[in-house]
């Protein structure tokens, strides 16, 4: 009994940082509608800054002051990010801002590397709390108790702030309709910056407070993203109590999990989440997203047009040019262009649910990587030939999408997005932890094409046919009744249901279809590289796909193609430099600020300037 | 008190207001009439700074406010009641009122929750209900009350009679008369001419983003040609 | 013979009895107006009829079939159309495509993957647009329509599956007086021609008095009065809780 109690305390201590970071994310999203991908980076900075500050400020006071310093510094950094990066693009289409925050992740990653170096930095123990206390005869680190108290204090503080103070009421009002709040005399800019400060401050404190239990390292940023998304979704978006309870629940179960099912620790929290969401789709304390919130900005969705004759000619020319690539005799080009085509298919498949269906998935890599692993597993364990494996990849990925989609389409908006991310992490953790079958971190090697396609040039043609074919199928599917119905669910779910269509079923099927197409891209990828690693499934890969789609332009079927091509070329070119993440990150931020409509939007603008825009009728 | 001169407002590429001008003197109730899509809401949103005119001038109370942020214009004493109500559905009635609260002004008596509940007894009954659970008409009352909490000198009412029971519209006409007596100025966007007639001194008619008519309400009533042409009544 | 019968409907939210024992019937081809003060429970009634809210108690029968417990889309398939107070159209599609979508669904072609949606049922859709007088706007994008046209488009969409019953919650909300009357006139004509029954709520008494065949008055969740337009207008109780002194609307014929 005493043992379980001690374990409970350990779990609660682990939950502390998770709760702080997750509540910050939730608060920022609530008010500004920005899904701050860089929230994990702020947490990481909190740890690093606290480390540095502790080496400068000595002693007991130095330790505690350092935690506060880290919080304030990170809060300030958050504010700077808000003012410099996000402020210019609040008016961009919804969720576009996540592109910029992704750029911020890259920048912070390299800055941290530059300043603190690649080694893990171990923090000092908390002065006065180095030891253990005995509780019912079990030894519990006394610092754990400090962390638990910290979490509770923050919880009460936030609760008081949001329910009892005028500022809290304003923040909650702004969460629903920030424009109206400003028309009632509240300075929106200050409110947004303030909220960003608070959210970042919490992340910084979280990072600093866990330092005595761990280290400051460069993997912290992505490492905590999935757990905080899980906490926010499980607890219910925007609910501080929810974040607290979910963080506790998940951390405590994790601690027991390590004891009893050591191989399933990563999956465990996702199972908790799945169970909660089956029973309560909006999380423990969450409420359904209000329909038609007034906060959303940006232009109304544009119709997708069939290509005009000149567009068709351009596409034909591009395809013709692509067939010439292997003839150049430069193998490197065939490899690069095969990559580009594969990513185009991957991005186009994401665009099918994101652009056509309006469902933003943060976890699309699950199906891309899933397809890759399905193909690789069949080749490795069943000796399946490449041709068959390439068919099984989309089937396998589609099957995964069938199951994951069933959970996800019950939700909408950011809930949907976060849940897809969390589900993708489940698949990732299975692949990562199931060493015996998947090779874990070491990946699966020697998955080569059949003999006839083993030349890079020949395999390139295979990629060209299947990749371009896949993209064209996706395009065609946007113009079928099903594609229209899907677009209908995006424009007005209310209307779609009111003309007798089953919105959820349509979304589910679209999710499966997009998953299968991503699986095809994944299958093509394995045989192109000859290997597959868990990285193909990880969050960063999902984010890459999102960046491609948003950079290219959500409102056009050509957008993802342009985005994938540009992004892949950029990455290929920049990765020769030492601090390429920094460069890429800055570039992404600049593009996001300068071209809020994506590349496709920019092309339209140029056309408009040249006076050959597809004439929109003027409003009556 | 409020002077809009020759503003041009755009939504993206669409040119909506083509040089709209209008004047509201202190203590007046002025109606802005016009069909759907004529540009009434856009004019009002331009005044409160929710959309920015690309050209033209807006002055309020002697201060030019043309490209100011909404909250600054609000601090000067301009109150805005939006047509879609836009109450905060997750906040209680009391909290909704709190969002609108601003310090009292020296020149006019301050509104309090108590005086507002006297004005709108329905709200008093529901003070701890969530805004989202009110019926359409109750929400309309709440949005007006919320704006009054800011003690505005001039209040912009965008189609307040929409979706409101006739008895309440009559009541609202009385309320507007009370505002006037209390020294408040009102600019009212309206499609319901019956209601506009009851409350206003002056009327403007806007059509396709241009002012087409200006005159006292009595003149408008006498002029059936204008009414038929622009208002189809 | 009544076509729609509503019996003893109850719904309360917490302690607030929003709909409190409401019963009424609707005959074929009848245009029935449901009016009442704000918060009387009209929208709540509508939502229960359309399967969006579950009543605490009571029954709704359409042509002998119980609707309570059914999903909105199944009710739609039984031949019940509805329009929304805040228009809900597909902004990224053209006018005619908006109507085509309803037809595609009606003919159960939603999941067909081998045709181009833009070609399906275009002629039928054009015929419907002709009916509401919007044929010349067929290829305009729905998001740039004037408000009155949007409302008419909604009517065409609601009529696409040839419904026997049309539910309209504040159909003319937000419209200019002239257009309000035009829309309801159009609705009344279609109703007369096709024998559709209509139940609508409205706060514009000009519209109600001009078109309704019969009027129901709801107050605090209960039926206060029921009868012809003239009866209801003359009813002192209705005047007291709802109509007021009649200064905010004209009489019928006032501006005809
Ligand atoms: N956000 C927007 N983007 C593009 N066009 C818009 C937008 N809002 C309004 N419009 C267009 O601007 C014009 C004027 O609209 P406005 O809302 O000012 O009219 P209104 O007179 O208030 O009409 P109503 O009586 O329907 O409220 C209309 O043609 C409308 O379609
Ligand atoms: N979800 C809900 N939770 C709690 N109370 C509700 C809810 N929906 C409606 N109510 C209450 O039920 C009553 C009836 O509301 P309803 O929307 O049906 O009124 P209505 O007759 O349509 O009014 P209006 O003409 O103003 O639209 C109101 O008092 C409202 O506050
Ligand atoms: Mg308007
Ligand atoms: Mg209603």
Complete DSSP assignment for A110-178: HHHHHHH-SS-EEPPPPTT--SEEEETTEEEEHHHHHHHHHHHHHHHHHHHHHHHSHHHHHHHHHHH-H
Span from the CA of C167 to the centroid of ligand 4 (angstroms): 13
- The three-class DSSP label of residue A275 is helix
Residue B143's Cβ-side half-sphere holds a number of Cα atoms within 13 Å equal to 29
Question: Does residue B9 lie in a domain region?
Answer: yes
With beta carbons less than 8 A apart as the criterion, state whether A395 and A413 touch: no
The answer to whether the CB of C40 is under 6 A from ligand 2 is yes
Instruction: Check which CATH number belongs to the domain holding A377 and give it.
Output: 1.10.3470
Question: Does residue B132 lie in a domain region?
Answer: no
Q: Using N-to-C axis directions, what is the helix angle for A240-260 and A142-164, rounded to 10°?
A: 160
The answer to whether the CB of B106 is under 6 A from ligand 1 is no
* Residues of B engaging C, defined by a Cβ cutoff of 8 Å: 34-37, 83, 122, 133-138, 140, 159, 161-170, 173, 191-195, 198, 231-233
Question: How high is the pLDDT of residue C193?
Answer: 87
The separation between CA A539 and the C-alpha centre of its own chain, rounded to angstroms, equals 6
In this complex, do A481 and C111 lie within 8 Å of one another by their Cβ atoms?
A: yes
From first CA to last CA, the distance across chain A in angstroms is 74
Question: How high is the pLDDT of residue B111?
Answer: 87
Write the pLDDT tens digit of every residue in B50-89. Answer: 998 999 999 999 999 998 999 999 999 999 999 888 899 8
Question: Does residue A305 lie in a domain region?
Answer: no
Query: A619 and chain B: CB distance < 8 Å anywhere?
Result: yes
Between CA B80 and CA B87, with CA B82 as vertex, the angle to 5 degrees is 105
Q: Please, which chains are in contact with C (at least 3 CB pairs closer than 8 A)?
A: A, B
Ligand 1 atom having least distance to the Cα of B83: 27
Tell me, yes or no, whether A354 and A470 share the same domain.
yes
Q: How far apart are CA B34 and CA A240, in angstroms?
A: 47
Count CB-CB contacts under 10 A for residue B177. Answer: 13
Tell me, yes or no, whether A576 and A514 share the same domain.
yes
**Nearest alpha carbon, ligand 1 atom 18:** B39
- In this structure, are strands C31-35 and C197-201 parallel, antiparallel, or unpaired? parallel
Q: How far apart are CA A547 and CA A172, in angstroms?
A: 30
Q: How far apart are CA A327 and CA A27, in angstroms?
A: 55
The H or E element containing residue A459 is: helix A456-478
More confident position, B179 or A338 = A338
Count CB-CB contacts under 10 A for residue C7. Answer: 14
In chain B, pLDDT over 90 holds for what percent of residues?
45
Give the contacts of C175 (CB within 8 A, at least 6 positions apart): B36, B191, C147, C148, C151, C183
Question: How high is the pLDDT of residue A94?
Answer: 67
The separation between CA C156 and the C-alpha centre of its own chain, rounded to angstroms, equals 12
Q: What share of chain C is helix, strand, coil (3-state, %, to 5)?
A: 40, 25, 35
Instruction: Chain C: give the shortest CA distance to residue A502, in Å.
Output: 7
What phi, psi does C60 have (nearest 5°)? -130, 115
Write the pLDDT tens digit of every residue in C56-97. Answer: 999 999 988 899 989 888 999 999 998 887 778 888 899 999
Give the pLDDT mean for C163-178. 86
Instruction: Check which CATH number belongs to the domain holding B185 and give it.
Output: 3.40.50.300
State chain C's maximal CA–CA distance in angstroms. 62
Closest C-alpha to B70, from A2, A188, A38: A188
Question: How high is the pLDDT of residue C252?
Answer: 40
According to DSSP H, which parts of A354-455 are helical?
365-382, 386-408, 413-433, 435-438
Residue C148 has pLDDT above 90, yes or no: no
What phi, psi does A289 have (nearest 5°)? -65, 130
Domain containing residue A203? 2-279
Domain end residue (candidates: A279, A312, A344):
A279
Question: How high is the pLDDT of residue A291?
Answer: 45
The separation between CA A180 and the C-alpha centre of its own chain, rounded to angstroms, equals 30
Question: Does residue A322 lie in a domain region?
Answer: no
Tell me, yes or no, whether A244 and A375 share the same domain.
no
Domain end residue (candidates: A257, A279, A301):
A279
In this complex, do C179 and B138 lie within 8 Å of one another by their Cβ atoms?
A: no
Give the pLDDT mean for B225-233. 77
- Give pLDDT < 70 ranges for chain A: 94, 262-265, 289-305, 611-620
In this complex, do A188 and B14 lie within 8 Å of one another by their Cβ atoms?
A: no
- The three-class DSSP label of residue C201 is strand
Question: Does residue B182 lie in a domain region?
Answer: yes
Q: Which of A490, A500, A617 sits opposite C73 (nearest CB)?
A: A500
Question: Does residue A154 lie in a domain region?
Answer: yes
Closest C-alpha to A371, from A561, A537, A541, A546: A537
Domain end residue (candidates: A220, A249, A279):
A279
ipTM of this complex prediction, to 2 decimal places: 0.90
Q: How far apart are CA C143 and CA B28, in angstroms?
A: 37
Give the pLDDT mean for B176-190. 88
Closest C-alpha to A183, from B54, B39, B119, B86: B86
Q: Which of B80, B99, B150 sits opposite A170 (nearest CB)?
A: B99
A189 burial class (0-12, 13-18, 19+ CB within 10 angstroms)?
Answer: middle
Tell me, yes or no, whether A225 and A337 share the same domain.
no
Question: Does residue B22 lie in a domain region?
Answer: yes
Instruction: Report residue C1's pLDDT band, with 50, 70 and 90 as the boundaries.
Output: low
Question: Does residue A445 lie in a domain region?
Answer: yes
Question: How high is the pLDDT of residue A447?
Answer: 87
Closest C-alpha to B16, from B39, B33, B41, B34: B39
Residue B220 has pLDDT above 90, yes or no: no
With beta carbons less than 8 A apart as the criterion, state whether C81 and C161 touch: yes
Closest C-alpha to B153, from B49, B74, B52, B37: B74
Question: How high is the pLDDT of residue A300?
Answer: 56
In this complex, do C161 and A500 lie within 8 Å of one another by their Cβ atoms?
A: yes
The pTM of the full predicted model, rounded to 2 decimals, is 0.86
Tell me, yes or no, whether A271 and A385 share the same domain.
no
Instruction: Chain A: give the shortest CA distance to residue B218, in Å.
Output: 31
**Nearest alpha carbon, ligand 1 atom 22:** B41
With beta carbons less than 8 A apart as the criterion, state whether B217 and B200 touch: yes
Query: B48 and chain A: CB distance < 8 Å anywhere?
Result: yes
Q: How many structural domains compose chain A?
A: 2
With beta carbons less than 8 A apart as the criterion, state whether A576 and A609 touch: no
What phi, psi does A141 have (nearest 5°)? -55, 130
A440 burial class (0-12, 13-18, 19+ CB within 10 angstroms)?
Answer: middle
Question: Does residue A532 lie in a domain region?
Answer: yes
Closest C-alpha to C164, from C196, C132, C137, C130: C196
A382, two tokens? 């069943």
Q: How far apart are CA C135 and CA B104, in angstroms?
A: 56
- The three-class DSSP label of residue C196 is coil
Contacts of C146 in chain B (CB under 8 A): 36-37
Question: Does residue B135 lie in a domain region?
Answer: no
Domain containing residue B73? 2-88+153-230
Helices and strands (DSSP H and E) totals, chain C: 9, 10
Tell me, yes or no, whether A241 and A350 share the same domain.
no
Contacts of B104 in chain A (CB under 8 A): none
């Amino acid at each position: 009994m005493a043992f379980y109690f001690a374990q409970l305390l350990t779990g609660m201590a682990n939950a502390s940082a998770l709760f702080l970071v997750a509540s910050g994310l939730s608060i920022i999203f609530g008010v500004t509608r920005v899904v701050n991908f860089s929230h994990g980076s702020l947490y990481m900075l909190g740890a690093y800054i606290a480390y540095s500050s502790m080496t400068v400020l000595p002693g007991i006071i130095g330790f505690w002051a350092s935690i506060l310093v880290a919080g304030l510094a990170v809060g300030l950094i958050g504010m700077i990010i808000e003012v410099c990066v996000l402020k210019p693009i609040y008016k961009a289409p919804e969720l576009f801002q996540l592109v910029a925050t992704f750029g911020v992740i890259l920048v912070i990653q390299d800055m941290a590397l530059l300043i603190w170096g690649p080694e893990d930095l171990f923090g000092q123990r908390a002065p006065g709390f180095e030891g253990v206390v005995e509780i019912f005869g079990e030894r519990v680190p006394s610092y754990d108790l400090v962390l638990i108290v910290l979490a509770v204090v923050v919880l009460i503080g936030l609760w008081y702030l949001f329910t009892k103070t005028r500022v809290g009421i304003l923040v909650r009002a702004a969460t629903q309709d920030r424009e109206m709040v400003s028309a009632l005399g509240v300075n929106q800019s200050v409110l947004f910056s303030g909220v960003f400060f608070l959210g970042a401050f919490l992340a910084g404190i979280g990072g600093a407070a866990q330092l005595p239990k761990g280290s400051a390292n460069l993997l912290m940023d992505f490492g905590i993203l999935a757990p905080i998304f899980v906490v926010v979704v499980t607890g219910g978006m925007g609910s501080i109590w929810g974040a607290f309870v979910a963080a506790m629940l998940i951390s405590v179960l994790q601690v027991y999990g390590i004891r009893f099912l050591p191989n399933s620790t990563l999956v465990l929290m996702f199972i908790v989440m799945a169970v909660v969401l089956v029973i309560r789709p909006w999380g423990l304390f969450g409420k359904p997203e209000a329909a038609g919130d007034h906060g959303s900005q940006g232009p109304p969705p544009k119709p997708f047009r069939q290509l005009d004759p000149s567009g068709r000619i351009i596409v034909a020319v591009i395809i013709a040019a692509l067939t010439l690539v292997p003839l150049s005799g430069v193998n490197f080009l065939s490899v690069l262009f095969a990559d580009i085509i594969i990513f185009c298919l991957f991005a186009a498949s994401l665009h099918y649910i994101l652009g056509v269906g309006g469902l933003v998935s943060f976890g699309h890599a699950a199906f891309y990587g899933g397809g890759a692993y399905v193909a690789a597993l069949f080749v490795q364990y069943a000796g399946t030939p490449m041709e068959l494996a390439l068919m099984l990849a989309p089937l396998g990925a589609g099957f995964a999408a069938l199951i994951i989609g069933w959970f996800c389409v019950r939700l909408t908006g950011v809930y949907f997005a976060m849940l897809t991310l969390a589900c993708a992490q489940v698949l990732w953790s299975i692949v990562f932890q199931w060493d015996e079958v998947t090779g874990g971190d070491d990946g699966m090697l020697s998955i080569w094409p059949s003999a006839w396609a083993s030349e890079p040039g020949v395999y390139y043609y295979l990629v060209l046919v299947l990749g371009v074919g896949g993209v064209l199928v996706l395009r065609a599917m946007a113009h079928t009744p099903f594609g229209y119905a899907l677009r209908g669910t995006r424009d007005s779910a209310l209307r779609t249901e009111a003309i007798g269509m089953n919105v959820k079923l349509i979304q589910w099927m679209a999710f499966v279809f997009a998953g299968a197409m991503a699986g095809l891209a994944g299958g093509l990828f394995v045989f192109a590289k000859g290997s597959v690693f868990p990285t193909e499934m990880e969050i960063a890969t999902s984010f890459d796909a999102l960046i491609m789609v948003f950079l290219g332009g959500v409102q056009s079927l050509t957008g993802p193609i342009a985005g994938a091509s540009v992004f892949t070329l950029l990455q290929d070119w920049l990765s020769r430099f030492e601090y390429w993440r920094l460069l890429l990150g800055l570039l992404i931020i600049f593009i996001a600020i300068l071209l809020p409509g994506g590349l496709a939007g920019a092309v339209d603008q140029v056309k408009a300037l040249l006076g050959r825009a597809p004439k929109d009728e003027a409003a009556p | 008190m409020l002077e809009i001169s020759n503003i041009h407002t755009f939504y993206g590429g669409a040119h909506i207001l083509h040089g709209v001008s209008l004047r509201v003197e202190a203590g007046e109730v002025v109606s802005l009439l016009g069909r759907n899509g004529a540009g009434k809401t856009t004019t009002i949103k331009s005044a409160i700074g929710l959309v920015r005119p690309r050209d033209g001038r807006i002055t309020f109370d002697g201060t030019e406010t043309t490209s100011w942020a909404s909250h600054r214009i609000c601090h000067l004493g301009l109150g805005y009641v939006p047509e879609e109500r836009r109450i905060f559905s997750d906040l209680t009635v009391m909290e909704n009122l709190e969002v609108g609260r601003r310090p009292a002004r020296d020149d006019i008596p301050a509104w309090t929750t108590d005086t507002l509940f006297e004005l709108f007894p329905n709200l008093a009954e529901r003070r701890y209900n969530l805004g989202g659970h009110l019926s359409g008409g109750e929400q309309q009352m709440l949005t007006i009350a919320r704006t009054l909490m800011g003690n505005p000198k001039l209040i912009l009412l965008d189609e307040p009679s929409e979706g409101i029971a006739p008895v309440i519209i009559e009541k609202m006409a009385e309320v507007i008369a009370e505002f006037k007596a209390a020294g408040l100025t009102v600019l009212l966007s309206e499609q319901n001419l019956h209601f506009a007639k009851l409350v206003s001194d002056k009327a403007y008619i806007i059509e396709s983003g241009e002012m087409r008519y200006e005159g006292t309400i009595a003149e408008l009533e006498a002029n059936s040609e204008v009414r038929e042409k622009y208002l189809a009544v | 013979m009544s076509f729609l019968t509503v019996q003893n409907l109850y719904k309360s939210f917490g302690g607030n009895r929003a709909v409190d024992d409401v019963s009424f019937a609707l005959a074929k081809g009848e245009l029935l107006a449901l009016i009442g003060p704000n918060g009387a429970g009209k929208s709540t009634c509508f939502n229960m009829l359309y399967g969006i809210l579950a009543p605490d108690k009571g029954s709704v029968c359409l042509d002998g079939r119980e609707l309570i417990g059914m999903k909105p889309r199944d009710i739609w398939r039984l031949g019940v159309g509805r329009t929304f107070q805040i228009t809900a159209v597909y902004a990224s599609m053209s006018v005619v495509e908006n109507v085509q979508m309803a037809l595609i669904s009606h003919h159960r072609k939603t999941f067909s993957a081998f045709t181009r949606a833009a070609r399906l049922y275009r002629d039928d859709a054009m015929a419907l647009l002709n009916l509401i007088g919007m044929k010349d706007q067929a290829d305009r994008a729905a998001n740039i329509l004037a408000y009155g046209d949007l409302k008419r488009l909604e009517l065409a969409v609601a009529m696409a599956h040839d419904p026997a019953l049309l539910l309209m919650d504040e159909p003319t909300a937000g419209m200019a007086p002239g257009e309000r009357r035009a829309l309801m006139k159009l609705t009344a004509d279609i109703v007369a021609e096709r024998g559709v029954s209509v139940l609508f709520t409205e706060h514009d008494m000009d519209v109600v008095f001009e078109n309704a065949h019969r009027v129901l008055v709801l107050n605090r969740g209960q039926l206060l009065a029921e009868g012809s337009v003239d009866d209801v207008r003359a009813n002192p109780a209705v005047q007291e809780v709802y109509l007021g002194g009649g200064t905010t609307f004209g009489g019928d014929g006032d501006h005809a």
